[in-house]
Structure 1
Amino acid sequence: MQAQTLPVSDRAQHLTRSDAGIPKQSIVDGQFSASELNIVILDRMEPLEAVWRELDRDNLNSLHQSYDWCLSWTRAFGHQLSIVWGRLGDETAFILPVEINRFHGFRTARFVGADHSNINTGLFTTRFVELASNIEPQKFAESIRRALAGRADLLLLQNIPLDWRDRRNPLALLPTVQNQNHAYHLPLLGGMESTLQQVNAKGRRKKYRIQTRRLEALGGFDYICSGTAEEQHLLLDRFFKQKGERFKALGLPDVFEDPSIRAFLHGAIDIRDRDGEAVGLEMHAIRLKGDREGDIAALAGLSRKGDHIICQLSTIDESLAAEASPGELLFWLMIAGQHGRGVSLFDFGLGDQRYKRSWAPVEIEHHDVVLPLCLRGSVGGWIHWAITRGKAFIKSHQKSYRIAQRVRRLVGV
Structure 2
Amino acid sequence: MQTQERDIAVTAVALATGERSMPVTAQPAMGGGFRIDVFDSMAALEAEWRALERDDLASLHQSYDWCSAWVETFRHPLAIVRGSLGDHTAFILPLEIIRERGVRRAEFIGTRHSNINTGLFSAEFLQGAAEGLTSAQTTAVAEALRGKADIVILRNVPLDWRGRRSPLASLPAVENQNHAFQLPFLGSFEASLKQVNAKRRRKKFKHQSRLLDAKGGYDYVNAAPDQQDGLLDLFFEQKATRFREAGLPDVFAHAPTQAALRRLLRHGNDGVDATLQMHALRLKGEHEGHIAAVAALSRKGDHVVCQFASIDEALVAEASPGELLFWLMIERLHREGVALFDFGIGDQNYKRSWCPMETTQHDLFLPISGIGHVAALAERSITRAKAAIKSNRQLYTFIQRLRARRGAGPAVADENDRN
Task: With the length of structure 1 as denominator, give the TM-score of the two structures.
Answer: 0.89
1:262 to 241, 258, 265: 258
The offset of 1:298, in angstroms, is: 0.4
Deviates more, 1:138-147 or 1:93-102: 138-147
Residues 248, 119 of structure 1: CA spacing in aligned structure 2 closer, same or farther, 3 A cutoff?
Answer: same
Distance in 2 between the 1:118 and 1:36 partners?
34
Query: Which residue is equivalent to 1:340?
Result: 335
Q: Are 1:97 and 2:94 counterparts?
A: yes
SS in 2 for 1:219: coil
The one-letter code sitting in structure 1 at the alignment partner of 2:184 is P
Residues 370, 337 of structure 1: CA spacing in aligned structure 2 closer, same or farther, 3 A cutoff?
Answer: same
Question: CA contact under 8 A between 2:160 and 2:166: conserved in structure 1?
Answer: yes
Q: Are 1:60 and 2:57 counterparts?
A: yes
Please list the CA deviations of residues 216-238 of structure 1 after superposition, one character each: whole Å capped at 9, or x if unmatched.
Answer: 222221110232x1211211111
Distance in 2 between the 1:135 and 1:102 partners?
28
Question: CA contact under 8 A between 1:137 and 1:174: conserved in structure 2?
Answer: no
The offset of 1:338, in angstroms, is: 0.7
Please list the CA deviations of residues 147-180 of structure 1 after superposition, one character each: whole Å capped at 9, or x if unmatched.
Answer: 1111111111100111111111111121111111
Deviates more, 1:390-399 or 1:247-256: 390-399
1:194 to 191, 195, 204: 191
The offset of 1:320, in angstroms, is: 2.5
Please list the CA deviations of residues 355-413 of structure 1 after superposition, one character each: whole Å capped at 9, or x if unmatched.
Answer: 00010000000011111111111111111100111111222344444444444444443
Residues 275, 236 of structure 1: CA spacing in aligned structure 2 closer, same or farther, 3 A cutoff?
Answer: closer
Percent identity of paired positions between Structure 1 and Structure 2: 52
Residues 360, 105 of structure 1: CA spacing in aligned structure 2 closer, same or farther, 3 A cutoff?
Answer: farther
Write out the 4+ residue segments of structure 1 that deviate beyond 3 Å after TM superposition.
Answer: 133-137, 272-275, 397-413
Question: CA contact under 8 A between 1:196 and 1:204: conserved in structure 2?
Answer: yes
Query: Which residue is equivalent to 1:155?
Result: 152
Q: Are 1:203 and 2:200 counterparts?
A: yes
Please list the CA deviations of residues 331-365 of structure 1 after superposition, one character each: whole Å capped at 9, or x if unmatched.
Answer: 11111111121101000000000000010000000
After superposition, residues 107-256 of structure 1 pair within 5 angstroms as 107-133=104-130, 137-227=134-224, 229-256=225-252
The one-letter code sitting in structure 2 at the alignment partner of 1:235 is L
SS in 2 for 1:76: helix
The one-letter code sitting in structure 1 at the alignment partner of 2:208 is Q
Question: CA contact under 8 A between 1:219 and 1:289: conserved in structure 2?
Answer: yes
Q: Show structure 1 runs of 5+ residues with no match.
A: 1-13, 19-32
Residues 315, 134 of structure 1: CA spacing in aligned structure 2 closer, same or farther, 3 A cutoff?
Answer: closer
The offset of 1:81, in angstroms, is: 0.6
Task: With the length of structure 2 as denominator, give the TM-score of the two structures.
Answer: 0.87
Distance in 2 between the 1:70 and 1:80 partners?
13
1:323 to 318, 327, 333: 318
Query: Which residue is equivalent to 2:364?
Result: 369
Q: Show structure 2 runs of 5+ residues with no match.
A: 6-29, 409-419
Residues 254, 401 of structure 1: CA spacing in aligned structure 2 closer, same or farther, 3 A cutoff?
Answer: closer
The offset of 1:96, in angstroms, is: 0.5
Distance in 1 between the 2:301 and 2:101 partners?
35
The offset of 1:246, in angstroms, is: 1.6
The offset of 1:204, in angstroms, is: 1.0
Q: Are 1:86 and 2:86 counterparts?
A: no
Distance in 2 between the 1:55 and 1:324 partners?
44
Residues 255, 297 of structure 1: CA spacing in aligned structure 2 closer, same or farther, 3 A cutoff?
Answer: same
Deviates more, 1:311-320 or 1:403-412: 403-412
Distance in 1 between the 2:181 and 2:133 partners?
32
SS in 2 for 1:132: coil
